[in-house]
Amino acid sequence: MLVGAVAAYYKYGDRTDIADKHLKGTREAVNGLKAYLGRALAEAVRPTVERIGANFSPDTVAEELRGESFQNDVSEFVERDIDEMISYGKLVHARDRWSFWARKQSWGIIGLSAIQAVATFYFAVLVKGFGWDASTTRVALSFVISGLGVGFCVFCHVVMLHHHDQICKYRDKIL
């Protein structure tokens, strides 16, 4: 079991490779969508900015920004680009949740590796080498703890896959 835990750490424990592989393109999609939304908002409020520029004074700025024209420009932007704003929010949320569960999985694998190292030391060195007691309760406890560790890591991986699917869905919609 220790060999399996070490192999799992090698494959999933280092988040650097996992993040590069699973989140590839996500940063580009987020940045591209953010840039698009920024340009679209700037275009939407351009008439107000031009009116402010033509009649600049502190009172004009305050008046224009509180005015109905500016609010209508922003409302039109929101109505026109609501799908992009929602996609941006969902993409960022899915990326953050994926990263959260990737951290949990990495730490779970490290914990599982430590548990397996202790169990291997106990059964291989202390029980076989020095004749310590290897009661069925201790053996069963070792399997239960190992099973819980494996179950936690598998659960983390399933949740990560769910969020990765969400990332792909929104990233593909954007790119």
pLDDT of residue 3: 66
Q: Judge residue 140's burial from the number of C-beta atoms within 10 Å of its C-beta, 0-12 exposed, 13-18 middle, 19 or more buried.
A: exposed
pTM of the predicted structure, to 2 decimals: 0.74
Q: Let me know: does 124 contact 59? Beta carbons within 8 Å.
A: no
Tens of pLDDT along the chain (175 residues)? 666 666 666 666 666 666 776 677 788 888 889 999 999 999 999 998 998 888 888 888 888 889 999 999 999 999 999 999 999 999 999 999 999 999 999 899 999 999 988 888 888 887 777 777 778 888 888 889 999 999 999 999 999 999 999 998 888 877 6
Structure tokens at 126: 């202390």
Q: Let me know: does 36 contact 84? Beta carbons within 8 Å.
A: yes
pLDDT of residue 130: 77
Radius of gyration, CA atoms only, the chain: 27
Structure tokens at 72: 């209508």
Q: What is the DSSP string of 71-135?
A: HHHHHHHHHHHHHHHHHHHHHHHHHHHHHHHHHHHHHHHHHHHHHHHHHHIIIIIIIHHH-----
Q: Which of 40, 16, 26 is nearest to 91 (CA)?
A: 26
